[in-house]
Amino acid sequence: MAEYEFDDREFDPKTYTCHVCSDLLNDPVTIPCGHHFCSECVTRHWDGQEAPRLHSCPQCKKKFSPRPVLVRNKQITKVMRQLQRNEEGKSYAGPGDVACDLCYWKKKQKAVNSCLTCSLSYCQSHIGAHSVAFPSKKHIIVAPRDDLHVKKDCLLHEQPLTMFCNTDSMLVCPRCATIDHRGHSVKTAEEAMGDLKMIVLYQMGQLDRRLEFHAEEVVSMKPLLHLLKVAAGVELGNCERFEEVMCLLKKRHSDVEKEIRARQQTVQKLQEKWEQELSELKRQQAELDSLSPTEDPGQFLLKYKHNSELMDQPQSSIAEVPSGFTDITEALHDLTDKLQTCTNMTVALTQNKLLLQQPTTREQYLQYAINITLDPNTAHKRLLLSEENRRITVVKEEQDYRNHPARFSHRWQVMSKEALAGQCYFEVECGNTLSFLGFTYKRIQRKKDVKESALGYNNVSWALKTGISNHIWHNGDELQVRNTRQCGKIGVFLDHPAGIISFYGVGPKEMELCGQVYATLTEPLYVAVGFTFCDSSVEFVKLK
């Protein structure tokens, strides 16, 4: 049978287009109503229908029960395969090329000519069909042009295209607007351009805000990079010292291994020596046994003298054998104990050093004082900022804040503008307000109502819960505190390099430690405040 031939110039894309995906049929199947679809598309459509036993045609909505068996359409499959073969070897349009306006594939072929009369461009296949359809010389054929679709006049009415149809998104002339586009949303081209310019300005504003946000991200990354650089230098030094210790341990291991092998060789040599002595003793025993039957006095005395000399030779003692490896084991245990003691002393000295470096009085803490300014772009819309963005109050009405990627959408929380990476101290007037006061990394979740967005309930934030009593929270766990009494004013000291966060109750004359957090801080921290009840309010004290 001759192979099926198909002329793709006479191809109608609508006949071979899937109604579900709006693309050319892939693995075409036919359902009982006669419509064709991609096998995967109709299967996915039926799998997603709510009624489990009632399935409908995506095109005509005819219902089937039970679910029809899909039948592959061999004729359409042949057509699609022939189309694919026809496409092989063709030149497709790339960036900067003019594409054929009649190609039905997503990848259009490169145009070889354009017709100024039709305002269309044609590939090698379709320019031939155009020549057959319009044999006269009235159509002007030129090299491919990409400006044909920028029409100045209506081809049908030969009037200027001064109107724009929003419904069809196209320029039209006044007659087309009243006839072919009657009932559509039609404006003058100038009005449509003005509307689109407003949209473009809005989009540019959105883009500017996104650029500003990302620029802030880049700036905030600089302290982090510096911190990581310093931390990396410290850790590299620790690694070098650790490598020295490892070299010493390896040398000690090698010495111990040599000692054990030397003792093994000693035991082996002693065993060989015992075996030789055992053989010699057996021989002597045999010679002594031979003395008894001897009757000749001279011969008996000679043999006895020889055997007595052998008996006088020193014998090996079992005391020469190593008793075991107890001394080596004890030495290893001793070395292990010393290493552990050294490690404990190092940790203790480090902690003591950090504690000694911290201030002990409020006057000393005030040397590290900073003023905290809250970032309005992060504040929930129920939070009112005042007093130069140092005071926060939970109000009933949402504030007219613009949408911002950094804003908390579900939690009544706000963050500071300042990113902190050194040593600093600040104070907060809390009164008896139930609030969460602490620190967070910048990457805290802000748009979802999940625990990852609540201060103290994730692994990126630490918070002191103030109010009737004080509790420190991190990753959903309550940490131990020293003082649980209510404190009207809270002092907070951050020692970022040491990884210490300290909360104090500030009194008229003295400061009382509420609790401390020891953590490995890898990023700059932002001060953060969260609330639970309306009308709550706290204020950051202006210290300088």
223 versus 448: which is more confidently predicted?
448
DSSP state string for 459-470: TTEEEEEESSS-
Last residue of a domain, one of 31, 61, 87: 87
Instruction: Using alpha carbons, select from 133, 161, 188, 338 the residue that is nearest to residue 249.
Output: 338
Is residue 356 scored above 50 in pLDDT?
no
The answer as to whether 534 is a domain residue is yes
Six-digit token string for 67: 């679910």
- The single-letter DSSP state of residue 24 is B
Predicted pLDDT of residue 370: 92
The answer as to whether 186 is a domain residue is no
Task: State whether 431 and 531 are in the same domain.
Answer: yes
Long-range CB pairs of 21-26, under 8 A, 24+ apart, other chains included: 23/106, 24/80, 24/83, 24/104, 24/105, 25/76, 25/80, 26/80
Average pLDDT over residues 477-484: 70
Compute the distance between CA of residue 364 and CA of residue 510 in angstroms, rounded to an integer. 12
Average pLDDT over residues 159-173: 87
Task: State whether 376 and 497 are in the same domain.
Answer: yes
The answer as to whether 339 is a domain residue is no
Task: State whether 389 and 530 are in the same domain.
Answer: yes
The answer as to whether 171 is a domain residue is no
Is residue 355 scored above 50 in pLDDT?
no
Question: Given strand 36-38, what is the order of strands in its sheet?
Answer: 36-38, 28-30, 71-72
Task: State whether 396 and 320 are in the same domain.
Answer: no
Partnered with residue 79 across adjacent β-strands are: none
Tens digits of residue pLDDT in 360-377: 778 888 889 999 999 999
Tens digits of residue pLDDT in 444-458: 999 888 778 899 999
Average pLDDT over residues 268-283: 79
pLDDT band at 424 (very low <50, low <70, confident <90, very high): very high
Average pLDDT, the chain: 79
Helices then strands, counting H and E runs in the chain, come out as: 8, 24
Domain count, the chain: 3
Instruction: Using alpha carbons, select from 116, 119, 112 the residue that is nearest to residue 93.
Output: 112
Is residue 342 scored above 70 in pLDDT?
no
Among the listed ranges 44-48, 79-83, 85-89, 290-294, which one has the minimum average pLDDT value?
Answer: 85-89
pLDDT band at 387 (very low <50, low <70, confident <90, very high): very high
The answer as to whether 220 is a domain residue is no
Predicted pLDDT of residue 350: 46
Rg of the chain over all Cα atoms, to the nearest angstrom:
46
Last residue of a domain, one of 87, 113, 146: 87
Last residue of a domain, one of 87, 117, 136: 87
284 versus 475: which is more confidently predicted?
475
Compute the distance between CA of residue 366 and CA of residue 360 in angstroms, rounded to an integer. 11
Task: State whether 390 and 524 are in the same domain.
Answer: yes
Six-digit token string for 234: 């410290």
Task: State whether 445 and 496 are in the same domain.
Answer: yes
Average pLDDT over residues 196-215: 83
At residue 16, the 3 state secondary structure works out as: helix
Task: State whether 399 and 310 are in the same domain.
Answer: no
Instruction: Using alpha carbons, select from 409, 476, 475, 406 the residue that is nearest to residue 442.
Output: 406
The answer as to whether 166 is a domain residue is no
Task: State whether 402 and 467 are in the same domain.
Answer: yes
Predicted pLDDT of residue 461: 94
140 versus 298: which is more confidently predicted?
140
At residue 240, the 3 state secondary structure works out as: helix
Among the listed ranges 133-147, 216-230, 386-400, 487-501, which one has the minimum average pLDDT value?
Answer: 216-230
Average pLDDT over residues 234-254: 77
Is residue 515 scored above 70 in pLDDT?
yes
CB distance 462 to 439 below 8 Å: yes
The answer as to whether 222 is a domain residue is no
Average pLDDT over residues 75-81: 81
432 versus 44: which is more confidently predicted?
44
Name the residue type at position 217.
E
The answer as to whether 195 is a domain residue is no
CATH of the domain at 450: 2.60.120.920
CATH of the domain at 78: 3.30.40.10
Task: State whether 273 and 387 are in the same domain.
Answer: no
Is residue 220 scored above 70 in pLDDT?
no
Six-digit token string for 212: 């500003």
pLDDT band at 351 (very low <50, low <70, confident <90, very high): very low
Half-sphere exposure of 303 (CA within 13 A, CB side): 17
Predicted pLDDT of residue 80: 78
Task: State whether 381 and 244 are in the same domain.
Answer: no
Instruction: Using alpha carbons, select from 378, 452, 413 the residue that is nearest to residue 531.
Output: 413
Among the listed ranges 179-183, 305-309, 505-509, which one has the minimum average pLDDT value?
Answer: 305-309
263 versus 52: which is more confidently predicted?
263
Task: State whether 278 and 377 are in the same domain.
Answer: no
Task: State whether 438 and 513 are in the same domain.
Answer: yes
Which range of residues forms the domain containing residue 255?
240-324
Q: Other C-beta atoms within 10 Å of 371: how many? A: 13
DSSP helix, strand, coil percent of the chain (3-state; round to 5): 40, 20, 40
